Amino acid sequence: MANTNIPEEIYSKAKSWLQPVFDKGTREKVENLINNNPEELIEAFYRELEFGTGGLRGIMGVGTNRMNIYTVAKATQGLSNYIKKMFADLPELRAAIAFDSRNNSMKFADTAAKVLSANGIRVYLFDSLRPTPELSFAIRSFKCHCGIVITASHNPKEYNGYKVYWQDGGQIVSPHDKGIIQEVKAITDITQVNFNENSNLIRVIGSEIDEMYLNTISNLSLSPELIKKYKDIPIVYTPIHGTGVKLVPRSLHKFGFNNIINIPEQDIIDGNFPTVKSPNPEEHATLTLALEKAVEVNAELVMATDPDADRVGIGLKLPNGQYSLLNGNQAAAILIYYILKQWSDRKKLTGKEFIVKTIVTTDLLTQIAKKFNVEYFEVLTGFKYIADKIGSLEGKKKFIAGGEESYGYLYGDYVRDKDAVVSCSMFAEITAWAKSQGKTLYQILLDIYKEFGLFKEHMVSYTLKGISGVKRIQEIMETYRKNPPKNIDGKAVIIIHDYLTQISTNLETGKETKIELPKSDVLQFITSDETKVSVRPSGTEPKIKFYFSVKGKLNTHDDVDIKLGELDKKIEKIVKEFHVE
């Protein structure tokens, strides 16, 4: 028989998917795997697709280890059980659901809506694809108790995902993440899922939320008078086949910009992302078509959003007429510098405002905040921690902006997640502001470097697969804890932050300080010349990541290439010191 090489436990699990409770198409695909593709069958059934601290993410297909309507349904039943326990005293529970352009996203969203409604929960379901930040806005607008967005962000086309949000509009954090995980794990059989949809509890939403969302964003504009003067600056924008296709151009127009140049073939909504190898705006190749168009139209600004439009990649024109892409740290610095300067110039700062960045995001943001006497906070990696900080200070202090090195930014507190829609509009506004001074966006960046220091960051990721890889990553972290580097590039290490023990140690004085953040397996080493190396295992992939940050001085714009070259060489040397075999 074809199944002789299939472990009995996996074979039994796969056979259970041939029951009538599963739809005909699913049963046929499982049958085909059993008879013709034992290797793929094993991959599809050897484990349960893990519901992590943010939700589900995996390759689409049949099986317990794949994203499909049944794994989505089980996750939703677990979520339903949790919120019914958490809000047992309320007469009505509400949830919002959005989805992106990926294959099967609408189907998965519809499945989640049916299960929630079957459990007596009122559902606000978007009528078509929408940016993830608009899901956060809908949760807050409808006073929902939770939300779901179907997206795998910038992952390859084979993937999809399921992210859970809490009633504040932010992604779930402790203790709710752990509580939901327990409930999802308790769903051990598909028969425990309530599929009896109550259509009366499902309300389809769309344009009315779009208008509220876009009006809220447009009211954040800080220089509408300048935009009127420079409304025709050429701006190239691409949604990379994703959800930004409608709302980003509309937001730009609401701000007052008229000359938005698109890439027609990338405006097509397509979960196969046919024009790119990866729909990730961090990768230069993904913006190839946009950059070609920028050269053609002599654009002042180039922008590309990922499929769920919560992250944005920025391209700008150099003095030689060529285009360069900003990294996430540079873009965050420009955005936050502009916002704080405008707030300061307009006497809007009262002393109660703050910004937030993650611990692996550039310290340039810290220096900018200090200049304007604005309080700053550092949180663990992940925008959900920025959202959590906003929520914890609500009513006490005013959140202005936040950012992370992985291309996610937020201005304003109307949502609790990174938002590429408002970010695109603000970068366009900053470009107009620069033009009003006879400058380009690139020159604004150099001005920031001159004033605050030339910061250069670099990240290296090592993939270590399998059980041996997990063990090796643990060994690496243990080694750095037991024997931390005494010097980095010849400079003494003077501070060690250990976010797992929650202790910060000053090696010069011996003083230990408690880190007031949740435990996380992250180490940071800081030297006497402000070089910083951060080491952390990835929470979602078999990787260990090293973040390198070095600092220099920029006296004139003309020196920038030389100075950056010196910092690049410094980083190269440090990377070799931390190389992982």
In this prediction, residues 280-286 reach a mean pLDDT of 95
Identical topology for domains 47-205 and 454-577: no
Nearest Cα to Cα of residue 400 among 326, 313, 341, 327? 341
Of all residues in the chain, the percent with pLDDT exceeding 90 is 95
Residue 175: asked if its preceding bond is cis (omega within 30°), the reply is: yes
- Count of C-beta atoms within a 10 Å radius of residue 288: 14
pLDDT tens, residue by residue, 396-411:
999 999 999 999 999 9
What pLDDT was estimated at residue 4?
Answer: 61
- Using CB atoms within 10 Å of the CB of residue 389, give its burial: 0 to 12 exposed, 13 to 18 middle, 19+ buried: buried
Res. 468: pLDDT tops 90: no
pLDDT tens column, 335-382: 999 999 999 999 999 999 999 999 999 999 999 999 999 999 999 999
Q: For 432-465, what is each residue's pLDDT tens digit?
A: 999 999 999 999 999 999 999 999 999 999 998 8
The answer for 127, left when phi > 0, alpha when psi is -120 to 50, beta otherwise, is alpha
Q: Read off the DSSP letter of residue 222.
A: S
Task: Please report which confidence band the pLDDT of residue 209 belongs to, taking 50, 70 and 90 as the band edges.
Answer: very high
> What superfamily would CATH give domain 47-205?
Alpha-D-Glucose-1,6-Bisphosphate, subunit A, domain 3 (3.40.120.10)
Query: Mean per-residue pLDDT for 56-63?
Result: 96
Question: Across-strand partners of 386?
Answer: none
pLDDT at 2 over 50: no
Helix axis angle for 207-218 and 244-255, nearest 10°, is 40
Q: Which residues contact 556 (CB under 8 A, 6 or more apart)?
A: 450
What integer is the mean pLDDT of 66-83? 98
What confidence tier does 566 reach under pLDDT thresholds 50, 70, 90? very high
CATH number of this structure's domain 454-577, picked from the four choices 3.30.70, 3.40.50, 1.10.10, 3.30.310 = 3.30.310
Q: What is the pTM of this model?
A: 0.96
Residue among 274, 341, 349, 324 nearest 564 (CA):
324
Q: For 475-527, how does the pLDDT look when each residue is reduced to its tens digit (9 = 90+)?
A: 999 999 999 999 999 999 999 999 999 999 999 999 999 999 999 999 999 99
Output the pLDDT for position 3: 53
Q: At 579, is the pLDDT very low, low, confident or very high (cuts 50, 70, 90)?
A: confident
Asked about 223 being catalytic, the answer comes back as no
For the chain, give every domain's residue range: 47-205, 454-577
Report the DSSP pairing between strands 454-463 and 543-552.
antiparallel
Sheet holding 122-126, edge to edge: 55-59, 159-166, 146-150, 94-99, 122-126, 202-205
- Given a contact cutoff of 8 angstroms between Cβ atoms, the answer to whether 294 and 236 are in contact is yes
Please identify which of the residues 136, 153, 218, 423 carries the catalytic annotation: 153
CA distances 74 to 79, 162, 503, Å, are: 9, 12, 39
314: DSSP letter? E
Say if residue 338 is exposed, middle or buried (CB neighbours under 10 Å; 0-12, 13-18, 19+). Answer: buried
DSSP letter (8 states) at residue 199: G
Judge whether residue 1 has pLDDT over 50.
Answer: no
| Of 92, 58, 100, 91, residue with least CA distance to 75 | 58
**Cβ-contact 455, 449 below 8 angstroms:** yes
Q: What average pLDDT score do residues 177-190 get?
A: 96
Phi and psi at 393, nearest 5°, equal -105, 5
Please give the sequence-ordered ranges of beta strands (E in DSSP) within 167-259, or none if there are none: 202-205, 235-238
DSSP letters for 98-130: EE-SSTTHHHHHHHHHHHHHHTT-EEEEESS--
Q: Which of 329, 326, 369 is nearest to 349 (CA)?
A: 369
- The rounded radius of gyration (Å) of the Cα atoms in the chain is 25
CA angle (154, 277, 70) in 5-degree steps: 50
Please provide residue 350's backbone torsions phi and psi, each rounded to the nearest 5 degrees: -110, -5
Provide the phi-psi class of 35: left if phi over 0, else alpha when psi is between -120 and 50, else beta.
Answer: alpha
Residue 570 to residue 336: CA distance in whole angstroms: 27
Q: Which residues contact 543 (CB under 8 A, 6 or more apart)?
A: 461, 462, 463, 464, 473, 537
pLDDT of 539 over the 90 cut: no
Side-by-side strand order, sheet with 312-317: 260-262, 235-238, 301-305, 312-317, 323-325
Mean pLDDT of the chain: 96
